[in-house]
Structure 1
Amino acid sequence: MKTWLVLAAAVGISGCYEPASFVYGESLEGLTLQLHSPDVGIYPDDSVLADPNNPFAHATPGVETKWKIQSSGAHVAAFYSWATLLAREPGGEAQFYVGNTLLAVYQNGEASQAELPRVKAQALRAYQSVLDNFPDSVTYDATGTIAYDLVTPAYKGIVEMGGTVQGGWTLVKLTNGQDRAVKP
């Protein structure tokens, strides 16, 4: 089992991130997700900060660390990382990646069989929350210069999981041939 060195930034009283500090902890691989509360990971819920299984409850992942965790394949750790970021500094990027990591947990069976239907439902809710609460949110490419909207992949995530998109959103084809989720 690989042990991780977690780079985390502490949240100050002002709500801004302070310079990152190193936190040495247990392995972030092989975790099994147990949803701590009915709304964990769904804006505006912040119950993830009280979840005893959350390795980030007391130290927020830093800007680069969140991407390292996301790309590591440790989906449960990535869920906790993004859900913690969402609870401390709400935004569409964090909400979208909560949905992505919950979907990965579901697809890879990284929760108990009894919990998997709840994980799927929570992933659908996370994607819908992007549409409802963060419709203008974007994420950036590795250079940090090219922005990508998040409503379209959130919309597609709901549909691909067999869910029903709420709130009047629809998918249109742009003149360049790409899909775009819009709310007329």
Structure 2
Amino acid sequence: MSLLPMLSVVEIVAERVLLRKARDADRARLVELRTDAEVAAYIGGPRLREDIERYLDAIGGAANATDAPGTFVIADKATDELIGTFEIKCRAPDQPGRVIEGGEELELGYLMRRDAWGAGLASEAATAVLRAAADELPDQPVLVVTQTANQRSLRLAVRLGFRTVSTFEQFDAEQTLLAAALHSFTVG
């Protein structure tokens, strides 16, 4: 159990995206997102549709998929359709890749539908969440961990201001650990 305070905000509005809690109407797009082979290429591959459907049923529906603090659906602001998911959470203590020995750090993670790639929407969503977190939480390291082969995610992290700290092996692939100070995202 983490002792870190977590982000309490449940909705964040940006220019083109809305970060909000999931709704049952998001179910089909959540399933598509998690079963898309290209989207899941660097997170262990796509999940089986039946597994995602079973998981959503087990948690009481798609509306419960973002119950955890700091977990959001990324919705197109104009249409309110799900284009991705985003989370800022405490990195599990048993995971490799740390900047504080034995510490707890925040970690970003996101998935975007292929039809949303290349438009800067992931950057906009990440910036909005990081600014909200910087306004609410104490300064602390924030991590991004991604497969080194995932050049799109690495470029996004660098554009956001994250710097490479190290690499390590996990899930049969080299992972890159990037970090930034949370309060470097404070506005003003």
State the TM-score, normalizing by the size of structure 1.
0.29
State the TM-score, normalizing by the size of structure 2.
0.29
Greater strand share, 1 or 2? 2
Greater helix share, 1 or 2? 1
More relative contact order in 1 or in 2 (CA 8 Å, sep 6+)?
A: 2
